[in-house]
Amino acid sequence: MASKGSASNGSASNGSVDRRNVLGLAAGRVFGSSFFGGRFFGGRIFGGGSLLAVLTGRASAAGAAAGPIYLNAYATAAEKGREPGFGVAALDGSGTPLFTTATPGRAHAIVPRPGKPEAVVFARRPGRWFQTLSLEDGAAGPVVRAPDDRRFTGHGDYSADGRLLYVAEDDVPREEGAIGIYDATDGYRRLGAMPTHGLGPHELVLMRDGTTLAVANGGVITHPDTGRAKLNLDSMDSSLTYVEAATGKLLDKVRLPEEHANLGIRHIALLDDGGVAFGVQDERPIGMLQPLTGAHRPGSGAVRLFEAPEEVLSRMQGYIGSVASDGTTVAASSPMGGVIGLWDAAGGAWLGSTALPDGCGLAPNGEGYLATSGLGVIEPVSASAAAGRERRAPEYRWDNHLTRWVA
């Protein structure tokens, strides 16, 4: 389900079928198969008998889950007489479904609103919509459409008080990156936009200072007339920018070293030191292995690139699909290679990897991470968890990003 394909790209054949540890990092399975026997009901899918009270509107997902809730977009496999379906699922830490909600099309990232049991779901780029979602019962809220001259790029974040939503977007006529600003207290009315100070933005996050937006600018220009076609690969200009949320002022901007200018910074995750970890994608292969993850703190100068064994970099095929941090480590997934890597957050030291064919979604779970795959797998990943039995449900394909929410 990754943006470059799903199981059909052959990544499953690259991983060990019994999910053995690749370089010493083990993964345990917690996702039961009962969820995948669910049926459609009123635009949602429910596992047999699970959270039946949701059907009456009396259930609260926040109350039903004894701990964090995990949110992931999904697609259902096409069946005879029925087209594939798209939606968002909420799961508890054990993989039990709390609700699933249909979306207007394929979704990408999901961001909870601070202070309220609500989230916003972004369309996959080039996106024309985002949709609000109740985290109490899964009820879908209004769908907000992009202006005619803009395309959403799959990610966004809220202000610290939850009043504003910042949306990564392409300013199509100007061929520039922009941040759309929406009033979450007034039906997500559009207030305006400010620049990302870069090209081809994808993920943006509000920094821990509550005043700065970090933006991963992939550096690649696209156009609605050509869909996802990349139009400037010979002159791509990827960057990591830090933008003052209140004014749009550029506070800092860094690029990768010139020898890595073919790599586009696409995904970022907050670090405890006030910086971000990032993952890249090789947009213009030059026939050599290159680092695919790193970190940067505003005002610190050049980026720090993380090292990894050559066999892992080769397997990753120049593609990182998601990045997450639990405060002490950084995890990055390569659905193309069917592998998840782990690094020390403070120094960038390599910690190991585990195989997960078409695995992309990552979110901290208090003991490492939960990971999801386009083959319907969800499992915990850490340096110490024991490997467990593999569970699959091919009819459900988890999309790129897993989000953790605590009520």
Residue 31 in domain: yes
Residue 394 in domain: yes
CA proximity to 159, closest of 82, 244, 68, 254: 244
Residue 338 in domain: yes
Tens digits of per-residue pLDDT, 102-154? Answer: 999 999 999 999 999 999 999 998 889 999 999 999 999 999 999 999 999 99
pTM: 0.84
Task: List the CATH number of the domain containing 144.
Answer: 2.130.10.10
Tens digits of per-residue pLDDT, 129-143? Answer: 999 999 999 999 999
CA proximity to 305, closest of 337, 277, 333: 277
Cα 35 to Cα 97: distance, rounded to the nearest angstrom: 7
Tens digits of per-residue pLDDT, 212-246? Answer: 999 999 887 766 666 666 656 676 789 999 999 99
Residue 123 in domain: yes
Q: Are 181 and 193 in contact (CB under 8 A)?
A: yes
Residue 1 in domain: no
- How far is the first Cα of the chain from the last one, in angstroms, to the nearest whole number? 28
Strands 201-206 and 189-195: unpaired
Residue 2 in domain: no
Question: How many domains in the chain?
Answer: 1
Residue 324 in domain: yes
Residue 220 in domain: yes
Residue 153's domain comprises 7-405
